[in-house]
Amino acid sequence: MPVEAVAAAPQAAPTEEPAPAPPPQPRVPKRIDLIGTLFVGDRDFMVGTAGFRLRHDGNRYEISVLGEPKGLARLFINGEFTGVSRGAITPHGLQPSEYVEERGRPERREAATLDWEAGVIRLKDDKVVPIEPPVYDRLSVILQFYYRPPETNELALRVTGTRYVDTYVFKRGENERLELKFGTIDAHVWRANFDEGDPRIEIWMSPEYSYLPLRVRIHAKKANGGRYATLTIDEIRVED
């Protein structure tokens, strides 16, 4: 008996899934000043006023530190410090292109250049390392959550200084109530540790305040004394 061939039914060509749309860019005021009080150690010894200033033109941003360098020395631990981060605002958050530190005197100015086209970061003493996204600098990482709120409870971010690049693994801890001058806030607490497990940086932020840093605590390694400083924001000034 002859075997009849069964014709396969024509199948529609597979359709490609549309690429997910990038997250919308937040509407950012032209200027945000976060002004607070700086404390040192577990006894909260007050050393002065400090904070962060954010400026942008819609496409580019600049973050700088506010306050006297002597006070900021306690915040960044290793000597007197002023700093600036500059870069682009993208649908995925901040993309720094230049990070500058000045420790006490102009001749002690150091910079890191993030060359995204070449895919490298140029550090002090002509050291060059590859860019491994997502990568930020020591200032932009503190304000990055304002542009890109965290979507998970753990984030690994590359962070550059002027001499080396490191990985900060942020983990969300228990919420804490912050008693601030402008109100009581239920804050999310995010912490990143050194490789040895000692605390490195802690950031308190809240969806109610668009994930701006409301308190920042920066630690030195225990091998370097384990000192830490805490910046608590007292006032948020904005200009549209």
pTM: 0.81
Residues in the chain: 240
Amino acid at 62: E
SS3 state of residue 27: coil
Domains of the chain, CATH where assigned: 31-239 (2.50.20)
**180-238: pLDDT as tens digits:** 999 999 999 999 999 888 889 999 999 999 999 999 998 888 777 778 889 999 999 99
Q: How far apart are CA 63 and CA 86, in angstroms?
A: 7
Amino acid at 186: D
- Over its C-alpha atoms, the chain yields an Rg (Å, rounded) of 22
Query: What secondary structure letter does DSSP report for 213?
Result: -
**20-66: pLDDT as tens digits:** 555 555 566 889 999 999 888 776 677 778 899 999 988 999 999 88
Q: Which helix (H) or strand (E) holds 74?
A: helix 69-76
Residues 6 or more apart in contact with residue 91 via CB below 8 angstroms: 22, 23, 24, 25
